[in-house]
Chain A
């Protein structure tokens, strides 16, 4: 399978980027919105889950999964049209896609491109894996995970202090 967006660093025009694709368009370029590139292969739906984007949110969303990538082997791409996602929303996806890059598109131009950077605390996104943790009961609180390591990702529950390092996607709320 051909790789999308091979020269993103040199071309900041979404239309130009798609022209690089040798076998034609898989997903058409967007005019305005957010493109999340370099998501680890197979994680695109979890990225949408973290961002709270479902079929009912109304946004036009394109998802490309498991395309070849020189950097990642296989990668996913998510395009959300007409919505510029905020930095703090996007940084949460570093939980499962630490190599992801964010492109904000306006009038077909990439006006901002940056990597994701995990914040120091993740609130209400990942539940604690300890079944006996108070955060897994009916208390009026959101889960709170302190980020103790970014590569690899190491989380620690603020409440019971149990670490979470593997299979983080399984604990997404």
Chain B
């Protein structure tokens, strides 16, 4: 049984399937059916940098399972500002709770936490490193709303810095997906990640033209292109507008195309797309709850995975 959830690289395809199956079985509870599976258990949320949806979705997941949550609170007033190490913080709070969720600006922080914590650690984002629960909820969304096998997906936007797309691409390679990378040349996926995907037999194509692929994919996975990546604001505007999805740009897309986005979005998806049959990003966001419930149940409730 898994003791921690730190990186997608530690999940086999079978283990991912087990988590997704478990998420499916707890989804009615995520929608409000009463449960006391984790009654009496406490989850500690250690967010060392701001987060809204990940923190609230973990909190919701724990409460839907009948457990309770303690929060680190603003870092300014806490022991962190007094210079306490993460190792000590984790040892102390691990003594109060049954599991820890950690988000921290430094890469590798969740793994360090797992070495010192007496209880399971879930990585909710470590700098530019991993965010495995996001990847699992993305996979759950694809499995529910499209299909995981024989999938053709386009990953669009900032593929250089976006940690979400790196681990999603890795996980999809386990399912033999056909992946098209769509990004401006300056924000292409780093070569080591691409060669890792190709070495697993994944078909990886690369283009900077979204129009080239939009009509031929099952899933469009959009990400935000951050303004600060471009020193020239004119260049940013040009790039941002060429990666914007509108109902018109979807005119010839596949009927069963779904559009995903880890949110928050800025201009990548026009709000008028929300009402089309393709939009899935709000469902995707909701699916974070059953997926995180599955993981919490697995780590604290004794469910075997894999």
Contact = CB atoms under 8 A, between A and B. Distances in A.
Interface of A: 128, 130, 132-135, 137-141, 157-163
Given A134-B86, A134-B108, A163-B192, 20 more contacts: A132-B106, A132-B107, A133-B107, A134-B104, A134-B106, A134-B109, A134-B112, A135-B108, A135-B112, A137-B106, A139-B86, A139-B112, A140-B85, A141-B87, A159-B107, A160-B106, A160-B108, A160-B126, A161-B9, A162-B107
B7 interface: yes
B128 A132 contact: yes
Nearest to B113: A134
Nearest to B129: A160
A132 B108 CA distance: 9
A66 B111 CA distance: 42
A157 B106 CA distance: 13
B115 interface: yes
B107 A130 contact: yes
30 contacts: A128-B108, A132-B127, A132-B128, A133-B106, A133-B107, A133-B108, A134-B86, A134-B104, A134-B106, A134-B107, A134-B111, A134-B112, A135-B112, A137-B106, A138-B85, A139-B86, A139-B112, A140-B87, A141-B87, A157-B108, A158-B108, A159-B107, A159-B111, A160-B106, A160-B107, A160-B127, A160-B129, A161-B108, A161-B129, A163-B192
B108 A159 contact: yes
Contacts of B129: 160-161
A147 B127 CA distance: 24
A152 to B, nearest CB: 15
Interface residues of B, number: 19
A153 to B, nearest CB: 16
Interface string B74-88: 000000000001110
Interface string B119-132: 00000001111000
Contacts of A141: 87, 112, 115
Contacts of A158: 108, 111
A161 B7 contact: yes
Contacts of A160: 106-108, 126-127, 129
B288 to A, nearest CB: 24
Contacts of B105: 132
A137 B112 CA distance: 11
A85 B193 CA distance: 40
Interface in B46-88: 85-87
Nearest to B108: A159
Contacts of A157: 108
6 smallest CB-CB distances across A and B, nearest first, come from A159-B108, A160-B107, A160-B108, A134-B108, A134-B106, A134-B109
Contacts of B112: 134-135, 139, 141, 159
Contacts of B107: 130, 132-134, 159-162
Contacts of A128: 108
B233 to A, nearest CB: 27
Nearest to A159: B108
Interface centre among B104, B105, B108, B129 (most CB of A within 10 A): B108
Nearest to B127: A132
Contacts of A130: 107
A158 B107 CA distance: 11
A161 B108 CA distance: 8
B88 to A, nearest CB: 8
B85 A139 contact: yes
Interface centre among B7, B9, B104, B106 (most CB of A within 10 A): B106
Interface centre among A130, A134, A161 (most CB of B within 10 A): A134
Interface string B1-18: 000000101000000000
B163 to A, nearest CB: 11
Nearest to B105: A132
Nearest to A137: B106
B189 to A, nearest CB: 16
Contacts of A161: 7, 9, 107-108, 129
A68 to B, nearest CB: 38
Contacts of A137: 106
Interface string B91-117: 000000000000011111101100100
